[in-house]
Amino acid sequence: MNNQQEILIDKAILFFKRGDFSLGYRTLLDAALHTDNVTIFKKVIEFVKKYENQEEDDKSSLIKDFENCANAVKEIPIENKTLIGETILKGSNLVKEYGKNKFVLGPVSVELKRGDIYGLVGENGNGKTTLLTILASLIKNSSGDLSYHFSEGYKDHYDLKSKLVYIPQRAGVWYGNVIDNLKFALVHHGVTGEKNELLVYMMIARFGLWKYKDLKWKELSSGYKMRFELARTLLRRPEIVLLDEPLANLDILAQQIILEDLKMLAKSHVNPIAMVFSSQQLYEVEKVSDKVIYLRNGKPSEGLNLEKEGINQLIIELDTQNSREEIERSFDESQLEKIEFNGGVYILYFKGDISFNSILSALAKKDLNIQYIRDISKSTRRFFVY
Amino acid sequence: MNFIKKINKYLVEHYPLIWNTRLVWMLGIALLLHVTFFIVGYNYVNTQEDIVAVTNLESFYYDTSVVFVAILLSIIILLVWIIYYLQNNAFKNLYTLKKDTLFTQFCVIFFIFFINTSQFYSFNAGLKLKIKNKFDWQEIDTDIKEFNKLSLFLLQTKSDYNIDNKKYPAPFPLEYSSVIYKHYKNHDISIDTTKSNFYHNNYYYQFYKLDKKRILEDSKKTNLVINKRNNFKYRTVFDVFKYKNLIDGSLLNYSKELYSYGQDSTDSKNRLKFYETLLNKKDEKEIEKTILPFFDLAKKYHVKHNLNKKDWLYLINTKNDYVLIERILNFKPGIEDKERFKSDYYRVVPKYDTVSLAKRKKKELFFLRNDPLTEDGKSAIVRRTEREYFSKIPYCDLGRLDIFFKNVHEAYNSNPSIKILYALIIITFIVSLLLFLFKLTNIKTLLLSFVSGSILLIIILLLIEYVSSYKQNYRNTSFLEICSFLLIGISITIASIISFIRRWKKLITAILFSLTLFIIPLLLVAMISLYEKYERSKYLYQDFHKNTFLIWFDAYGFWVVIGIWLLSIGLYTIPIRKWKGLPE
């Protein structure tokens, strides 16, 4: 069996050599963080300084240093762990009632395993935040069972909440600079002195905060505030992370980076994390999530039997300048079941066994002016259609 | 700045609580503040005039603008500190905390508040040091003794020379009763006519000692008010007829201690012995020697006076058994005063007239022959007396010398009032607790706690009002107040525990916790008050004597209450920590 740490480091070198400098850099930092070794941290931070100080996008001149660093990390043996897949949170038939004739969430059943990423989608007011806060033990569920299975257990509720990390949509204001806040968070988790500083710098580099480390909260953009929250969260070595709309207010590039980071962190072979996050960015969520929970009126998609509807049906989302008639003319009557238009995009439902490629071909033949097309047959996007 | 950064870096990486509370910097600022106030205190007084500006050393701080400056500085420093302190909150962020961290945090808050509001002690220390450097107590003590000796001759207050002040020789001091001669035969008078008494200047006098112990015992038993008209059986009467001339006022009666600071009973005894010996000699020269140091002392301590030996010795009246002639004014007389008092200050002097015997009638010659004749025998030398008025009305204004001696004595011998320390600790404790609760909860919880506390107070008042009106003639309202408070206070304390165990709403638990933390010390005080009232009730018609516990509580109760309060905060931080972890 190949050593996962070595595979990770080789990947980092490969990314860097191919020119995916940022990805390689972040992967190397993850590998270095796995070592938990002060000497490695020092060496990596030396490289980080060079990397961050080079203003050109092309970092290929740093490949030698990068490799040296990667080899040093490789020298620290990290045994393969089998933590991924261990159940860490189990919620059965969770229900939250807010009084008679008021909103009811659930019943929802969730089983979170280490390394799992759960996406939570649904329109506003359908219970995403409620479910997250129940899982974060911030509010009490009206009925149902909720249990946690941390590697070291917990002594009391405060201890439980220390282990659960919930990042709300609007993270609280903090004062002072980035470094001090991260050091303050880390020192409470028993990491003091030199290691405290090194680990904080590692995390700052990992989340792209290096240039902003001396800034204050109000001086950071929304994206960097979210990165700060993630850095602070990860310093606590959490086993469960619950994020409420982490992508809100982020530009598309920032969204992609954050999602990629979440995935990398969740799937860490040393400290895999169970993650649940809610978002309105359906496609981005689906891209990184192992499972997506769709909530409508407080009920999960399983409970609504939505999953079964159109389970073998091809459903297309289409954005075009052409008219509805022109679209209809592109397909045989026998193929197209119905078209829905919400004012922005068309949703096309097809009958029988028809492939996405044949749809593309049919549209190309009619020379329609396509802005955007997507197969949403397996996506929760289809639930958002009325 | 680098130095500050280095220390901050070290603290945040090693001691988050110290970093968060800015303890090191607050200690530094407090040190600076205390040094500043010490210097201000040291420079606040320079002369005797400065020292007598206020009646005690504490007033140099609390009765001047110094206290306002100190309060403003404390407020500014603490407000800035609070802003920084509230910036990071490990508890609200649910960072891993040890079980004792919250309590330690409260202690640090209290310490910071205390050291930044206790500038009084530095100011007081500076003030005292300056007074000590300027004035030697040994020297002042000697001067006080000298002043006390001289005070016999200062004749400032007539009543000081009354016979009821006489303390020597035995059997003095004595009490006396007097009755005007017309009433002597009456029944209801203050003289026991069956025992020794004497007549003097239209009054009958009786001198005696009272057995006060027996009076106290009997009054307890009978609940009878014992006074001069019915205390005859407790009197031991003395025949002091030979001292009857002293009744009109004499230096022989004087026993007052002019300045008591640093003087003990031995000094007092020696002084009285000195008076007795000196006065018994009736030697004006000796008395003159005794009053002479006054002039130097007056100069040294800026005592305003216009005394001269001649007039002063006349007023001392050595030749006439020191009978009080007239007092020496204790203020400098103004023009109006001079007119008013002029006729009171004179000496009677003999004058001799030569009266010719020639052409005198027989009757006149009969009288004139009793007078000595001139050498030629033609004239008689006739003696008469004349009032010779003092050229100046004598006065001696000791001014605020008493305060000067008092303040210097305080600088050397006493510590600041313990009450100031108590007040400071209580205020600091309350403010620290408010800030601590705000840090743990939020402003909403604090405000609701305040509202709840106010409502409870109203309920207690209504309860008292109701019971008082229901049970007419119920006068013991303070007992009712304590019981009502105890009832509600204990209920809230128990409710706070139940709310936590039974998992009531977090907000309600937080309010109950907040109220309980303020109620606990009051409960303790209320319980002790109730116990004292109970003890008092046993002494319905007698003087109340506190038992050993109550005496002990008077002495150490404050520290016990503060200790228990602190302990309760320590105990409550354990459930508070758990409470934070509970879901809403």
Number of domains in chain B: 4
- pLDDT score of B300: 93
- pLDDT score of B133: 94
Give the residue from B347, B323, B344 showing the smallest Cα distance to B333. Answer: B344
Which chain A residues touch B583 with a CB distance below 8 Å?
134, 137-140, 157
Does residue B40 share a domain with residue B97?
yes
CA distance A152 to chain B (A): 14
Please write the tens of the pLDDT for every residue from B70-109.
Answer: 999 999 999 999 999 988 888 888 888 888 899 999 999 9
Contact between chains at A236 and B95 (C-beta distance less than 8 A): yes
Q: Which of A134, A158, A181 sits opposite B580 (nearest CB)?
A: A158
A–B CB contacts, 8 A cutoff, strictly below: 74
Contact between chains at A192 and B13 (C-beta distance less than 8 A): yes
Q: What is the mean pLDDT of residues B452-457?
A: 88
Does residue B494 share a domain with residue B583?
yes
CA distance A181 to chain B (A): 8
Please say which residue of B101, B134, B167 terminates a domain. B134
**In contact, B379 and B357? CB cutoff 8 Å:** yes
Of residues A103 and B51, which shows the higher confidence score? B51
Which chain A residues touch B577 with a CB distance below 8 Å?
156, 158
Which chain B residues touch A199 with a CB distance below 8 Å?
none
Does residue B210 share a domain with residue B89?
no
Contact between chains at B12 and A187 (C-beta distance less than 8 A): yes
Does residue B459 share a domain with residue B379?
no
Of residues B328 and A108, which shows the higher confidence score? B328
Of residues B560 and B364, which shows the higher confidence score? B560
> Is B411 inside any structural domain?
no
> Is B336 inside any structural domain?
no
Of residues B156 and A169, which shows the higher confidence score? B156
Which chain A residues touch B87 with a CB distance below 8 Å?
174-176
Does residue B307 share a domain with residue B224?
yes
Please write the tens of the pLDDT for every residue from B226-269.
Answer: 787 778 888 999 999 999 889 989 999 999 999 999 999 999 99
Please say which residue of B134, B156, B173 terminates a domain. B134
> Is B455 inside any structural domain?
yes
> If pLDDT is split at 50, 70 and 90, which confidence band does A222 have?
confident
Does residue B318 share a domain with residue B226?
yes
**In contact, A262 and A275? CB cutoff 8 Å:** yes
> If pLDDT is split at 50, 70 and 90, which confidence band does B540 have?
low
Does residue B143 share a domain with residue B71?
no
Which tokens hold the place of A96?
């939250």
Q: Which domain holds residue B179?
A: 139-328+397-404
Concatenated DSSP letters for B316-372?
Answer: HTGGGTTB---PPBSS---HHHHHHHGGG-EEEEEEEEEEE-TT--HHHHHHHTTS-
Give the residue from A286, A141, A232 showing the smallest Cα distance to B584. Answer: A141
| Ordered domains of chain A (ranges, CATH) | 4-74 (no CATH), 87-304 (3.40.50.300), 314-384 (3.30.70.100)
Q: What is the mean pLDDT of residues B333-362?
A: 86
pLDDT at A250 over 80: no
Among A212-221, A307-316, B96-105, B331-340, name the one with the lowest average pLDDT. A307-316
Please write the tens of the pLDDT for every residue from B125-150.
Answer: 999 999 999 999 999 999 999 999 99
Q: How far is CA B159 from CA B116, B163, B256, B344, in A?
A: 51, 9, 10, 17
Q: How many CA atoms lie within 13 A of B7 on its CB side?
A: 11
Please say which residue of B134, B163, B196 terminates a domain. B134
> Is B260 inside any structural domain?
yes
Residues 95-134 of B with CB under 8 A from A: 95-97
> If pLDDT is split at 50, 70 and 90, which confidence band does A2 have?
low
Does residue B295 share a domain with residue B151?
yes
> Is B58 inside any structural domain?
yes
Please write the tens of the pLDDT for every residue from A65-85.
Answer: 888 888 888 888 887 777 777
> Is B243 inside any structural domain?
yes
Question: Which residues neighbour B142 within 8 Å (Cβ) at sequence distance 6 or greater?
Answer: none
> Is B259 inside any structural domain?
yes
- How far apart CA A71 and CA A40 sit, in angstroms, is 10
Does residue B352 share a domain with residue B251?
no
Radius of gyration of chain A from its Cα atoms, rounded to whole angstroms: 24
Give the residue from B105, B21, B96, B104 showing the smallest Cα distance to B581. Answer: B96
> Is B523 inside any structural domain?
yes
CA distance A189 to chain B (A): 6
**In contact, B417 and B410? CB cutoff 8 Å:** no
Which tokens hold the place of B584?
């809403």
- pLDDT score of B273: 94
Secondary structure of residue B126 in the 3-state scheme: helix
**In contact, B568 and B517? CB cutoff 8 Å:** yes
> If pLDDT is split at 50, 70 and 90, which confidence band does B291 have?
very high
Which tokens hold the place of A75?
């020298």
State chain B's maximal CA–CA distance in angstroms: 132
**In contact, A73 and A28? CB cutoff 8 Å:** yes
Does residue B486 share a domain with residue B376?
no
Among A40-49, A210-219, A260-269, B537-546, name the one with the lowest average pLDDT. B537-546
pLDDT at A385 over 60: no
As a whole-number percent, the residues of chain A with pLDDT over 70 amount to 93
**In contact, A205 and A45? CB cutoff 8 Å:** yes
Does residue B525 share a domain with residue B576?
yes
Please write the tens of the pLDDT for every residue from B497-538.
Answer: 998 888 888 889 999 999 999 999 999 999 998 888 888 777
Beta bridge partners of B36: none
pLDDT at A24 over 60: yes
- How far apart CA A212 and CA A208 sit, in angstroms, is 8
Radius of gyration of chain B from its Cα atoms, rounded to whole angstroms: 37
> If pLDDT is split at 50, 70 and 90, which confidence band does B543 have?
low
Does residue B301 share a domain with residue B191?
yes
Q: How far is CA A45 from CA A31, A62, A74, A199, B6, in A?
A: 13, 14, 16, 10, 20
Please write the tens of the pLDDT for every residue from B165-179.
Answer: 999 898 989 999 999
Most confident of A36-50, A162-176, A233-247: A36-50
Of the residues A156, A158, A241, the best mutation for testing chain B's interface (the one with the most B CB atoms within 10 Å of its CB) is A158
Question: Which residues neighbour A347 within 8 Å (Cβ) at sequence distance 6 or greater?
Answer: A315, A316, A317, A318, A339, A340, A341, A376, A382, A385
Q: Which of B16, B87, B90 sits opposite A175 (nearest CB)?
A: B87
CA distance A172 to chain B (A): 10
- Burial (CB < 10 A; 0-12, 13-18, 19+), residue A137, is buried
Please write the tens of the pLDDT for every residue from B366-387.
Answer: 887 788 888 888 888 888 888 8
Please state, rounded to an integer, the average pLDDT across all residues of chain A.
Answer: 82
